[in-house]
């Protein structure tokens, strides 16, 4: 007979818990009144922290709204009948 502790549901829950990422706080960022930015990170993980900051910048820049600049009408466009 199978014990309740060794059921497949408990094993599945254990696998799901192991698959979840466990984030660690590495970087502390602060801004003062003059908009000066202060960053603190552990010196032994300097390369990892710089890579994480670059990835965060890439994510932020990818989610900005695109800027659409409307072209200014030109007199020759009016003469030719081109609508913009």
The structure tokens listed for 16 are 């799901």
pTM of the prediction?
0.47
Q: d(Cα 39, Cα 53) in Å, to the nearest integer?
A: 10
Backbone angles phi, psi at 61, to 5 degrees: -70, -30
pLDDT tens-place string over residues 27-79: 998 999 999 999 998 989 999 999 989 998 898 888 877 788 887 777 777 77
Instruction: Please give the pLDDT value at position 62.
Output: 83
Q: d(Cα 73, Cα 82) in Å, to the nearest integer?
A: 9
Asked if residue 17 lies in contact with residue 39, where contact means CB atoms within 8 angstroms, the answer is: no
Residue 4 has pLDDT above 70, yes or no: no
Domain limits of the chain?
4-55
Report which of residues 22 and 32 the model is more confident about.
32
pLDDT bracket for residue 83 (50, 70, 90) = low
The CB density around residue 24, as the number of other CB atoms within 10 Å, is 6
């Amino acid at each position: 007979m199978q014990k309740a502790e060794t059921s497949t549901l408990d094993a599945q829950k254990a696998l799901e818990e192991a698959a979840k990422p466990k984030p660690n706080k590495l970087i502390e960022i602060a801004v003062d009144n003059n908009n000066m930015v202060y960053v603190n990170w552990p010196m032994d993980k300097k390369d990892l922290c710089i890579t994480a900051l670059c990835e965060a910048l890439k994510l932020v820049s990818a989610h900005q709204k695109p800027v659409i600049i409307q072209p200014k009408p030109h007199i020759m466009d009016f003469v030719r009948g081109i609508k913009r």
